[in-house]
Structure 1
């Protein structure tokens, strides 16, 4: 939610920022990813990436072109305006991260690194989705 609020003045949502920042990083590495590859990179669903890319294209921030090696695939690239907005958004989000992580000593502190490791550990724990609290309550009422 904080990222949504931070990038809203630039006309972006958190999801759009994620897509554009990833595309920015990939393009700086010389890549021009397909929508599918960008979806894999960001962890977003391919259909959602397609929807985001179309909206960003309509806003003049992203260009979508057919992949010459696969006519079914669309390659994505940032427009000049898209690169400018992305650079500004990255600066805003980095400032937000600095602010949020300041109590732990900042982004590069030992406490922040430990926090990131612990968070990653928690996020890697598989959840038992068969435990539906509504089902248990229904059974108790029977």
Structure 2
């Protein structure tokens, strides 16, 4: 029998590979999708996040978020601008082209998520809600070496 840690690893790898494959025709990797879809959600909520805020939202390392931001900016999917109140802070926003790319990608990933969660009753199922609560608890539990 597999340990919970091994199962978490396997599920995360299964999901990452599935998202990478599903988004390959759009030219996106899973990490780029996480970046863009999170930025899309934050903008819809009225925010213009900094790179640090987006890193915190996505769980991606700050250095990796910065690298992705530079690449996505060069590709014309986002804009990076200095915050006038603090020029050390870089604010992020989607370009119109970025929205054109991320909106269908969100729909593609939603369909994939529906297939993944079907055995639990789908996204709105009670078992899915319970799983989400348990995963949130685990994500919110600090490990000894975390700051």
User: Is the TM-score greater than 0.5?
Assistant: yes
- Relative to the length of structure 1, the TM-score reads 0.82
1:140 counterpart residue number: none
1:57 counterpart residue number: 73
**Structure 1 unpaired stretches of 5+:** 130-142
Q: Is 2:51 aligned against 1:68? A: no
Counterpart of 2:31 (choices 7, 12, 15) is 15
Matches of 1:29 and 1:116, distance apart in 2: 22
Query: Per the alignment, do residues 106 and 12 of structure 1 end up closer, same or farther by CA in structure 2, a change over 3 Å counting?
Result: same
Paired residues in the alignment total 129
2:11 counterpart residue number: none
Question: RMSD in angstroms over aligned alpha carbons?
Answer: 1.8
Q: Is 2:71 aligned against 1:46? A: no
Give the match's secondary structure for 2:107: helix
2:10 counterpart residue number: none
- Relative to the length of structure 2, the TM-score reads 0.79
Matches of 1:121 and 1:32, distance apart in 2: 28
**Following superposition of structure 1 onto structure 2, how do residues 1-142 of structure 1 map, counting pairs within 5 Å?**
1-123=17-139
Matches of 1:46 and 1:101, distance apart in 2: 30
Matches of 1:123 and 1:73, distance apart in 2: 27
Q: CA deviation at 1:120?
A: 3.6
